[in-house]
Amino acid sequence: MSAPLQSDPKTLVSTEWLAAHLKDPDLRIIDASWYMPDANRDAEAEYEAAHIPGARFFDIDEISDLRSELSHMAPPVEKFMSRMRQMGIGDGHQVVVYDGSGLFSAARVWWLFRLMGKTDIAVLDGGFPKWKAEGRPVSDEPPVIRDRHMTTRRQNTLVKDVTQVARAAKLRDHEIIDARAAARFKGEVPEPREGLRSGHIPGSKNVPFNTTLNADGTMKPTDALAKVFEEAGVDLSKPAITTCGSGVTAAVLSLALTRLGKNDHSLYDGSWSEWGMYADLPIATGES
């Protein structure tokens, strides 16, 4: 049996930690549930039916750069600030973000806050499923919103675009780590998004995001996490770029790397939705 989670309000906190801090005046909770279309789940409707008391709903698809043809790309700073103000989230708040899968899309919002220069944010380990399984309180009432100004400072080192990733793949000076399932990484199955080629970025390593998690949706302890990356052939001494299908589960790997004390990593926001679309970008299939 693994040791209990050491809660860290900048990365990952336990349900016990959140329950103990639930009534803190400067705590803000976010429900960042998001599902793949084939899941046939309505994240916002589920939030309205039941959520952790005081939680605000974060719409990953809407709080994005809607000028882009790609899904839920990071929003402009001004839009992010505006939406957070509307949600009553600002300077001086400790934020805890969770999702309805356990640990899936919440990490994307954790990464997005960090991209905007906000580090007082943690993912709820095990998410809403663990919270409910433990019989903790839920509510269907909307939160009381009070405006709070948010100061942001975009951290451009935390994100990579397609040109930067292509350069890294050519020079092999970064570890590119792909969070998709092995069959998608190897190009053995069609991509769920129409019109995309199958395979992976040449030279990238495959660490399916769920291999960083326990069966109950909680994140593995750091010693086990280190082993997951090691067994995938990842050289943690190199700077890393995380990627996936559309930039959501890549953030689970970003969270895992941060838990390991590794901070020289960034996320490829376009991910395979972008790379797989362009015929002039190289792809690889099989194991590597």
- Which contiguous run of DSSP H or E holds residue 57? strand 56-57
140 & 270 share domain: no
Confidence of residue 288 (pLDDT cuts 50, 70, 90): low
Q: Measure the CA–CA gap between 60 and 108, rounded to whole angstroms.
A: 8
41 & 150 share domain: yes
Catalytic site residue from 55, 169, 244, 252 = 244
The residues facing 177 across adjacent strands are: 205, 242
Domain-embedded: residue 283: no
Give residue 217's pLDDT.
94
Domain count, the chain: 2
Domain-embedded: residue 164: yes
End of a domain among 126, 154, 182? 154
H helices present in 29-120, as ranges: 43-49, 77-86, 106-115
Give residue 1's pLDDT.
41
138 & 233 share domain: no
Catalytic residue at 244?
yes
End of a domain among 128, 154, 180? 154
Residue 45 belongs to domain with CATH number: 3.40.250.10
Domain extent, residue 19, equals: 12-154
Condensed to tens digits (0 to 9), the pLDDT of residues 217-275 reads 999 999 999 999 999 999 999 999 999 999 999 999 999 999 999 999 999 999 999 99
165 & 72 share domain: no
Give residue 3's pLDDT.
58
* Tokens, residue 253: 């790997």
Domain-embedded: residue 246: yes
Q: Measure the CA–CA gap between 96 and 118, rounded to whole angstroms.
A: 12
Give residue 37's pLDDT.
82
Cα–Cα nearest to 87, from 61, 117, 57:
57
Domain-embedded: residue 210: yes
Q: Measure the CA–CA gap between 236 and 229, rounded to whole angstroms.
A: 8
45 & 167 share domain: no
Domain-embedded: residue 85: yes
pTM: predicted TM-score of the whole model, two decimal places: 0.96
118 & 189 share domain: no
Cα–Cα nearest to 34, from 251, 258, 205:
251
